[in-house]
Amino acid sequence: MEVQRAPKRLPYVPTEAEIRAFYQAVWTARRAGDVVLIKTLLYTGGRVAELVVIRLVDVDLDACRIRITHGKGGKDRMVPFPPAFKEALALHLHHQRTIGATFLFESSWKKHYSDRGVRKLLARYAVAAGITAPISPHRLRHFLFTWLKTQGIDDALIQPDSGHEHRQSLEVYSRLALADAQATYDQVIDRFPV
């Protein structure tokens, strides 16, 4: 006897418009540390538990990479960030060093940020942006990897940065990218020559 399983639902991924509105809310607040935190999440696709324990020594500005230590499964990896982010990150690093911080994101009590604190921060900016769906660190991660797939980036290039052990784990991002394919098809099919 075969058991019928309900098909797995695809996770919610914020739209580009939602990400732009979200980032605009962050930018408008003019809190430099928050801007760096949000950009670090967006650019690296790191998990929140990985983000909060990034130490200052884990950031390599010359190579535009951040070392993620003790990621999921206890593994370490290097994740890239764009060169355009280097200056803002360097200023943040300098500030953190001047106050004697150990972590990239550290509270005034000299402790790294908590997972919960980062989630609350994201929730405040989502409300400020008028976004009804919750914006979690993991949804930002989904956005990055789905966006990379829609840009034609191969799984072999995404896998090391994502921290997924197997390429099959990236299948969800391909499926999410394909969900937008119909809309793109509908937009361009009228220009088809036949």
Listed residue (97, 155, 95, 133) closest to 14, CA to CA: 133
Amino acid identity of 128? A
**Residue 107: which domain range?**
16-191
Residues with Cβ within 8 Å of 64's Cβ and at least 6 positions away in sequence, in order, are 80, 81, 82, 83, 85, 86
Domain harbouring 143, CATH code: 1.10.443.10
Give the three-class secondary structure for 6. coil
Kindly give the parts of the chain with pLDDT less than 70.
1, 3-8, 71-73, 153-194
Count: domains in the chain:
1
User: For residue 29, what pLDDT is reported?
Assistant: 92
Its sign, for the CA torsion 10, 15, 20, 25, is negative
User: For residue 194, what pLDDT is reported?
Assistant: 45
Are the beta carbons of 14 and 25 closer than 8 angstroms? no
Neighbours of 99 (CB within 10 A): 9
Classify residue 117: in a domain, yes or no. Answer: yes
Classify residue 29: in a domain, yes or no. Answer: yes
Classify residue 141: in a domain, yes or no. Answer: yes
Amino acid identity of 40? T
Q: What pTM does this model have?
A: 0.78
